[in-house]
Structure 1
Amino acid sequence: MPLYLVNNDEIGVNDLPKERRALIMLFGGTGDLATRKLYPALFNLYKKGNLRDHFAVIGTARNKINDAEFQELVAKSVAKESDDKKLIANFASHFYYEAHDVTDVKHYSVLREKADELDKKYDLQGNRVFYISMAPNFFGTVAKNLKTQNLLTENGEFNRLVIEKPFGRDYESAKQLNDELSASFDENQIFRIDHYLGKEMIQNIEAIRFGNTIFEALWNNRYIDNIQITLAEDLGVEERAGYYDNSGALRDMVQNHIMQIVSLLAMEQPVAFKDVDIRSEKVKALRSLRVYDVVEASANFVRGQYGSDNSNKSYREEDGVPADSNTETFVAGKLLFDNYRWSGTPFYIRTGKKLAGKFTRVDVVFKKPLVDIFAFPQSGSTPLNDNVLTIFVEPNQGFSLRVNAKNNEQGFHTEPVDLEYMEDQKNTPQPYERLIHDVLKGDGTNFSSWPEVASAWKFVDQIRRVWDIQQPNFPNYIPGSMGPVAADELLARDHRQWVYKINR
């Protein structure tokens, strides 16, 4: 039996991962995302054997460089992934470059000729992935020209379009963009990347929920008091000020990342673990999300903007930010579902910049026993703590379950104990590696469908409309905190508190 070397280990041909044949055409091939994330992701798939001899990449951008210079750029971008220079050189040899203006129809004929040439050279069997890593205003233009200039093949197994966020800035712009894409590609051919859906513990939500009776039996409003989702960043806007000031935390984080996490936590159990069934249940959950009126939106959502301290500039002092900007850098909110499973159980969300740390976590707070038999006055015992299931998404990956147990002191006293599991991250695939592999497989499970995007925008748009007619009192939180005091008050009104909190 033939033997192959994969990560310096000899394995038989029958043990190799399934090879994916495809031409990948990357618009924005010299950009920051491509060099930091996409090329290392492709290289890791190459090392593992998911990509081998039968793949090619055409990078396009306005830059005037040749194939050799492009291959050098690719090799440099993956250098930290391996010490094997020959392996890197072999990988980079599959990359080709074409200077391209996406608005010039004539340029697409050059791309078509190059794509047909590489299809024959690498025996790609007509399979094509078109990855647009550019500003969203070019998505529709590229998709239209790919169709009209005959870059989509009819003799292959697939043509797939991959696009990065943001997918619109409100429902109307998102619908217009989707209509433009749908004129050239079917919905099952469009892969809207949200890199949070490639994270290990986000994908683990389904395993934890549907793979364990101990949780799924209790995953409802009868046993869960509330669910909290926190996406915290300790940095400011850095070099993204131009984009961020036109977006803000609501559009940048809530509409996509947070709403996707919410839908995974709230959805019903799918008929089968397949992309169509999972997406269907996520859509049902989002459609049952209560869209607030003006009064409800004002009461249930909080915004913030970071100020300055001794070592940090305020948001309004950042380069590229107007001195009177009212763009929010923090959002906290209370979400309610009008369905049988979740009626009366709030989902609390928060995200922001210049917070106490960089981390993402989900805290599922279970209801306390109806009767606390340990807390009668004569017992002298402290009240029971909440049972909390915490899913640590980043930087650490794992989960813990907080339960009440007797301590070893004299008498009978309870205290919280954490049952914890943390993953070894050394061999965990990075999000883009997972997601690109899913694109090559044609698995849409971890991508946003149009109905999900539409439902999320309809909810977020209402919050945005209310905020646009109100004058905020900014700045209202200091760097290193967990946001404005109003975010704590949001839960305090419901006689609750954030599971993760710091002393002010």
Structure 2
Amino acid sequence: MHAEGASHKPKCPEGPVSILILGASGDLAKRKIIPALFALYCQNLLPEKFQVVGFARSRMSDEEFRGMATENLTCRYAPGNSCGELMEQFLARCFYFQGQYNSPESFRLFRERLLPLEGNEPTNRVFYMAIPPSVFLDVARSLKQAGLVTDGGASPWSRAVIEKPFGSDRSSSDEMVRNMAEVFEENQTYRIDHYLGKEVIQNLLVLRFANLIFDPIWNRAHIENVQISWKEDLSVEGRAGYFDGYGIIRDVIQNHLLQILALIAMEEPVSLHAKDIRDEKVKLLRSIPPVELRHVVVGQYAEGVWKGVRKAGYLEEEGVPKGSVTPTYAAAVLHVANRRWEGVPFLIRAGKGLNDRMTEIRIVFRETPGKLYDDALHEPVRNELVIRVQPDEAIVFRIMNKTPGLEMKLGISELNLRYQAAYRVEIPDAYECLLLDVLEGDESLFIRSDELAAAWDIFTPVLHRLEEERVQPEPYAFGAEGPLAAAGLAGRFGTGWR
């Protein structure tokens, strides 16, 4: 997303840049960061002078680092004979340094390695913190002490990219923000939520504010409810140690899904500048009261059979403490206390070990008044706008239509925009978009500190109650729709999950 508006064309950022990946031997660097950088390189969207330098504790040579990086590089933008040549050129710019995150001396030596790679010239720097939050502050301070970080308004610039989790509640989040501010000013800090880089999510503001037909009906008079669903048919898959300390609300709902809600419900920004977009998101989040425990259902997947294979329950997963009450599923109903949305329930659910893998948004419109077509309908039907985030990105408008034939019979038809079929282009990975924005200094798709605080205010009270009261999650079989109580929660608001 770019402040220049609809005609913005990505361009190669100016000036030499070092992209420094802290935690370069980890899964995120291998699967997402380095492949995204290669994709940008293939499209001539990296500066002429750049280097990718990894830092991690694992012992590795430059060649071994390049070999690791190669495993996940694909030639989506450079098919044919040019692929191998481009890959070779890119990997020649990749280097590795082994050091300890809690050792200032390691970062002093890191600087000695880095400066010659930069040609001892003033160079912009991106610090990608692909590391556990527990070492953020040590690493940031050591970078500063080593003279690797410039001040916020300085040239060349320094920018830090930080991955979630951004704390575990409002208090710990505030502490993290304060600590990082010792080294990186707010305008240097890019808190990444990769969902905001997804093509369909970036299109939400365009859909709402560039199409006049939606403006008059985007309110409580015409919309009955909004549903946001995130479903995975996978287990915690080796992440049990991390996941058990956070749970599905912190891992998915408080960040990814709440960001989607904000884009759906916010008012039109004054402009597409980052400040104006984020101001409206903050205003919206502040208008959502803290979610109540009675409006939350939590569940935990149990043993089940999915696609003919036995799947272990969460409590059987390696690394999960005995008797854990960490939810792998949660559903919640939120309300927005403003004139546009008063009385409209926003139903949010997320879960692992379910019967599908998908993320989608459903805007459910109110029933058509009157009884004109009662004889042609078996039951009341509502229009729906369905925005499928993944897989198979699409925007679907469900409308009533006369089915062909001699009798007056109505049925649901779908006006369907499937991205792959409609555009026939390679849809960028979210990390490609977000890394390009970091290089260009566009903060629109990143989370500001006051936005983060407002999001935590919504969920911190209920998270504390769930933990203090050790609320038992309702078990559901792996491969099921989720806990039965989730359907009851939606029913209390006069609807069902769709």
User: Structure 2 residue aligned with 1:45, among 40, 43, 67?
Assistant: 40
Separation in 2, partners of 1:220, 1:157: 46
Taking structure 1 as reference, are residues 342 and 100 closer, same or farther at Cα in structure 2, changes over 3 Å only?
Answer: same
1:417 maps to which residue? 413
Separation in 2, partners of 1:372, 1:49: 59
Show CA shifts across 1:75-119 (max 9, x none): 333256566322211101111211111211122222223333233
Taking structure 1 as reference, are residues 267 and 79 closer, same or farther at Cα in structure 2, changes over 3 Å only?
Answer: closer
Q: Which has the higher contact order (CA 8 A, sep 6+)?
A: 2
Separation in 2, partners of 1:183, 1:28: 21
Show CA shifts across 1:297-341 (max 9, x none): 232110001111242221111111123111100000100011111
**Retained in 2: the 8 A contact 1:18–1:49?**
yes
Separation in 1, partners of 2:435, 2:58: 25
| Matched residue SS, 1:77 | coil
Matched, 1:333 2:332: yes
Map 1:436-451 to 2 at 5 A. Answer: 436-451=435-450
Separation in 2, partners of 1:470, 1:172: 20
**Retained in 1: the 8 A contact 2:17–2:47?**
no
1:3 maps to which residue? none
Report the AA paired with residue 411 of structure 1: E
1:279 maps to which residue? 278
Separation in 1, partners of 2:361, 2:459: 20
Report the AA paired with residue 49 of structure 1: N
**Retained in 2: the 8 A contact 1:61–1:98?**
yes
- 1:484 offset after TM fit, Å? 0.8
TM-score, normalising length: structure 1: 0.90
Taking structure 1 as reference, are residues 187 and 422 closer, same or farther at Cα in structure 2, changes over 3 Å only?
Answer: same
Taking structure 1 as reference, are residues 93 and 43 closer, same or farther at Cα in structure 2, changes over 3 Å only?
Answer: same
Matched, 1:303 2:302: no
- After superposing the two structures, state which structure 1 stretch, 107-116 or 301-310, moved more: 107-116
Structure 2 residue ranges without an equivalent (≥5):
1-8
**Retained in 2: the 8 A contact 1:62–1:99?**
yes
Map 1:463-474 to 2 at 5 A. Answer: 463-474=462-473
| Matched residue SS, 1:239 | coil
- 1:186 offset after TM fit, Å? 1.4
- 1:426 offset after TM fit, Å? 5.2
Report the AA paired with residue 409 of structure 1: G
| Matched residue SS, 2:302 | coil
- After superposing the two structures, state which structure 1 stretch, 35-44 or 18-27, moved more: 18-27
Separation in 2, partners of 1:354, 1:383: 33
**Retained in 1: the 8 A contact 2:108–2:146?**
yes
TM-score, normalising length: structure 2: 0.91
Count residues in correspondence.
Answer: 476
Separation in 1, partners of 2:302, 2:64: 44
Separation in 1, partners of 2:42, 2:75: 13
- 1:473 offset after TM fit, Å? 4.4
Report the AA paired with residue 25 of structure 2: T
Map 1:198-217 to 2 at 5 A. Answer: 198-217=197-216
| Matched residue SS, 1:305 | strand
Q: Pairwise CA RMSD of aligned residues?
A: 1.9
2:145 maps to which residue? 148
1:219 maps to which residue? 218
- 1:62 offset after TM fit, Å? 1.3
Show CA shifts across 1:93-150 (max 9, x none): 11121111121112222222333323327x6x42111111000011112222222321
1:67 maps to which residue? 62
- After superposing the two structures, state which structure 1 stretch, 86-95 or 39-48, moved more: 86-95
Map 1:366-445 to 2 at 5 A. Answer: 366-375=365-374, 379=375, 381-424=377-420, 427-445=426-444
**Retained in 2: the 8 A contact 1:61–1:100?**
yes
Report the AA paired with residue 165 of structure 2: P
- 1:215 offset after TM fit, Å? 1.1
Separation in 1, partners of 2:373, 2:229: 32
- 1:271 offset after TM fit, Å? 0.3
Separation in 1, partners of 2:472, 2:165: 27
Map 1:87-166 to 2 at 5 A. Answer: 87-120=86-119, 125-153=122-150, 156-166=155-165
**Retained in 2: the 8 A contact 1:286–1:452?**
yes
1:7 maps to which residue? none
Matched, 1:28 2:27: no
Separation in 1, partners of 2:473, 2:158: 48
